[in-house]
Copies of this chain bind each other. A is one copy, B any other.
Amino acid sequence: MGKNIFNQELENYFSTRRSIRKFADREVSKELLDSVLALAAKAPTCGNMQLYSVVVTRREECRRELAALHFNQPASTGAPVLLTVCADFARFTRWCEINNADAAYDNFLSFTSAFADAMILAQQITTIAELHGLGTCYLGTAIYNGPEIARLLKLPRMVFPVACLAVGYPDGEGVETERLPMEAFVHEETYRADSDEEIVRLFKAKDDYPANAQYVAENGKANLAQVFAEVRYPRAMNEEFSRKLLEYLNF
């Protein structure tokens, strides 16, 4: 049987972890980062193919150029290290070609396998880094500006950024964010079709959360959902980036 090493300290870590967007002026040593990356690579991977790569950006000029493609979010401009985690079927495909194997991985199914592999690795890096006292923040813009990031980092065909992690020593504790009650996302045996009344109930704590109420006022909207759908992640942006991505990936 597996060994249960869970304890109160780990419970505290997992229950209180926060993303960090402000970093101390302190390097993350190559030795520490290498040990995090090496351990993270023991995470599960599809057929043990390791369909990922990580581009480590440390040099100031490179960080500045990369941060610009993340819309200069504070986490991207202030972190001493940016890790661009990529879905990568290029390395595996080239190995197949060298071995006269008929590789066919430039397609949507293979993209999803590599995407999953890269996200598993990204989250394993996040957990191991945070357990070491580092702070991290995902930059969702990795995918939005994927084609431009691919050009900057010289990613070849079949290598696509799916997550960027800002990593450094935290300056401050980060901001606590609310979560939906667990029954909102857990379904027993089959997916439960919630009534509108139930959805309203599940999101009520989120609607009522003080920081969210302030956010609604600042954006001049009637409610939080409108801030999300019409300001933060609006139709025109979603549809334009979708077209651009599908054109670039060309499945």
Mark A residues whose CB is within 8 Å of B.
1-6, 9-11, 13-17, 19-20, 24, 34, 37-44, 46-50, 52-59, 62, 86, 88, 91-92, 94-96, 98-105, 107-110, 112-113, 115-116, 119-120, 122-124, 126-128, 130-138, 140, 143-144, 152-156, 159, 162-163, 169-170, 177-180, 182, 184-191, 193-194, 196, 199-200, 202-203, 222-226, 228-230, 232-235, 238-239, 241-242, 245-246, 251
Contacts and interface: CB of A to CB of B under 8 A. Distances in A.
Nearest to A180: B50
A226 B1 contact: no
6 contacts: A34-B182, A58-B189, A99-B224, A99-B225, A124-B127, A246-B251
Given A95-B199, A112-B162, A182-B34, A2 B187 contact: no
Given A116-B162, A127-B127, A153-B187, 19 more contacts: A6-B131, A14-B124, A38-B182, A41-B185, A48-B178, A54-B187, A56-B187, A58-B188, A59-B189, A94-B196, A96-B228, A98-B199, A98-B225, A102-B230, A104-B235, A105-B233, A107-B238, A119-B123, A120-B126
B37 A182 contact: yes
A232 B184 CA distance: 37
Chain copies in complex: 2
Determine which residue in A122, A133, A238 has the highest number of CB atoms from chain B within 10 A of its CB, and name it.
A238
Most chain-B CB neighbours within 10 Å: which of A92, A107, A120, A229? Answer: A229
Nearest to A124: B123
A238 B104 contact: yes
Contacts of A233: 47, 105, 110
A107 B104 CA distance: 26
Contact of A44 (B99, B126, B133, B224): B126
A18 B95 CA distance: 25
Contacts of A24: 1
A169 B136 CA distance: 32
A184 B235 CA distance: 39
Contacts of A107: 238-239, 242
Contacts of A136: 44
